[in-house]
Structure 1
Amino acid sequence: MDTEVLDLPLSRTANERLHALIPGGAHTYAKGDDQYPENLAPVISHGSGAHVWDVDGNRYIEYGSGLRSVSLGHAHPRVIEAVRRELGRGSNFVRPSIVEVEAAERFLATVPTAEMVKFAKNGSDATSAAVRLARAATGRTRVALCSDHPFFSVDDWFIGTTPMSAGIPSTTTELIASFPYGDLAATEEMLARHPDEIACLILEPATHTEPPPGYLAGLRQLADRHGCVLIFDEMITGFRWSEAGAQGLYGVVPDLSTFGKALGNGFAVSALAGRRDLMERGGLRDSTSDRVFLLSTTHGAETHSLAAAMAVQTTYMEEGITARLHTLGERLAAGVRDAAEAMGVGDHVVVRGRASNLVFATLDENLQPSQQYRTLFLRRLLAGGVLAPSFVVSSALDDEDIDRTVDVVAQACAVYRKALDAADPTPWLAGRAVKPVFRRLA
């Protein structure tokens, strides 16, 4: 692939076809071509391991695979073998399959802080079910979500709080409160402002910053003191932080937690897990409380997706995948930081996050986040054969991939330095800047 010029004529045509038929040109906004430099949004043909190929025939080292879901690499042999074995046995029946109980047993053995689990196909269904369950259990309607975390659900209770709130009545968002991550005093003040109103606190237990010492335990105490349900959204932290999620790593047990993404290595499966007494409110054995319509999905227990989840968990446990993700991420972070520093942009291209879940920030001459400089940086990465909306690693990467990525980053940082010296990145953009996902107008 030419490191100076990248032309994607077939991808451009495919993007036009996508937009003509699919609102937004993709089935996930974070995969939209507005997230990439103009005319440089590759449309993928296939993937293997840590690499993907676009319809133009270019190969890329890929990061953030499947929005962090493909943590073992594409078409992982153990996962594919497990899926193929189930496909020949049927995927959906009129009664539960034995695979469902096997998958539940495997999950609860992997995440022993939970007592029951119910599977679904996407994270939004699981988090919304957790919120519904918390409201039913507490008899309260107000939900408190962490304002520093970018996404919880496609459902109205969350999307109504974003700039893309069109179509959502204000009566829905009036029932939402918020609290900042890492600030127990502010959270307690919020709870005091809404006495006996908050059904739950929902947050990601960790993101690009580690929880301050005692923070998660303090939240646990606040939830108990104020009678609300503590929900950990472990869509990202699940498996990447530890096989048992952030709750297993930090030793703080939520009432409910949700898992997805890495759970299926690209296959559609998510999970709501938690305390038995809460989860049974959505079951058939609690005759003392009104029933909660917890999760009921036609495809929630497809046998091949559950087989994929079991294979993923087995692979993580037997092959030490979480440790490998951290090792790869540490090598990548060190290399990127050294490259940026060597090119004089160490304060402008900033790698953040846990080694297994790295993101990067692109800052302008005033050290402010810049979509223009992000566009410049992405253009150079793509030209060098690196597809990286983030630096989130998969275990399929090897040292050669990391070293190649660092070389491409160094080339990108050299151009970044030129743009900073000119105090204007525009000449290096060749089109519009990339855009944030959540915005009011297209």
Structure 2
Amino acid sequence: MQCSLVLWIIALLISVTDSKRPLSKDDRLSLREATREMLDHAFSGYMQYAYPKDELMPMSCQGKNTWGNFRLTLIDSLDTLLLTGDLRGFRKVEEIVNKMNFDFDKNVSVFETNIRIVGGLISAHLLYKKAKMPLPNGWPCKGPMLELALDVADRLLPAFNTTTGMPFGSINLKYGVAKDETPVTCTAAVGTYIVEFGALSRLSGDPKYEQAARKSLESLIDARSGIGLLGNHIDTQTGIWTATDAGIGAGVDSIFEYLVKGSILLTDETLLQKWRLLEKPIETYLNTGHDFYIWASMTSGATTQKIAQSLDGFFPGMKSLLGEVEHAMRIHLNYYNVWRQFSGWPEFYHVDKKLPIQGRDGKSFMNFILKGRDENPLKFLHGTGTARHRRNFGAAVRHGTARHRFFIAVPRHIFSLFSCFLRTKKD
């Protein structure tokens, strides 16, 4: 069954992604249902072979704890199950997750735990009504999933007890920050809390979460260089940059995204203003002039690496949220063309040589990383004027991620793309 499904998808993709014709409604509906079926297959595989561990290793069909024995795939899957119409699956997973206890001796990434665990729990909590779950008294300001999210956030908060307010990179969920924990962490891990922590404060009425996220953000942005750029690693105790290459990709990316999305979620103009402080230097020093974004010295603006990264893929979606649709389309068309050339987006792409690079040093193994950065902008750009490229690219991404271990969580964006303006009896 699975083999025949893959062969059918390949045949359909050959007919649509390399042609000039747009995907028809029937094409999109077929791809959406194929995505749904693959998601069902992936989730069933996790439950059969990997549960209760964090993830399924698809080649060996064994489970693996990667982030802290959180049963992470279950939390990742909650909103995906609901989006694809699997209310029964959502309720089953919600029942399991509600019984979880995070009071254990485990060192975890503050950043990853926030975006994946806290964020996943908040999303599930807010989806209760959509899932037709019995609403707890006081919902949405009360509820078991919200209580779990608050518990995890409380375990992360001690990481923010630094002289700058910027958090340590890791923390022990039971005992707090280790005495020998390095204060050096990446920019993204400092500035990616305002969405989840802001939501927690607004839902719970306790301002401490949003205050911690804001202080961290403000300290980070205040540390920008004289020309307005951020480096990619900083000492959270001293505020001194330890890695001074500036870019929009790995180690930096999500701070920009969170400033924009946080401003929308919290209706906060000050967050948008902080993005505007960073936007002009990015366009001045990092944009090649052809809408690829490379790396430069944060102090001089001189180019250090003419490399675009797969993790840059969030940028056009973010631009579209700001109403900069034409610019977003130009950026995304660059990614689409690279994808068509190499049948994937390389982790590192040299914008002059127009070739994948084997690592920043040119020596390490060449990777094609499959992440949500590639799919996420598609749904924001859909319907903005030239949606054919977005949908065809979505079809190509859908084929490329068919066996990826994060297939349960990430392709919700692709499913949404093919669902736009479509209604069936299942909906």
* Structure with a larger share of its residues in strand: 1
Q: Which has the higher contact order (CA 8 A, sep 6+)?
A: 1
TM (normalized to structure 1)? 0.27
Select the structure of larger CA radius of gyration: 1
Q: Which structure shows the bigger proportion of residues in helix conformation?
A: 2
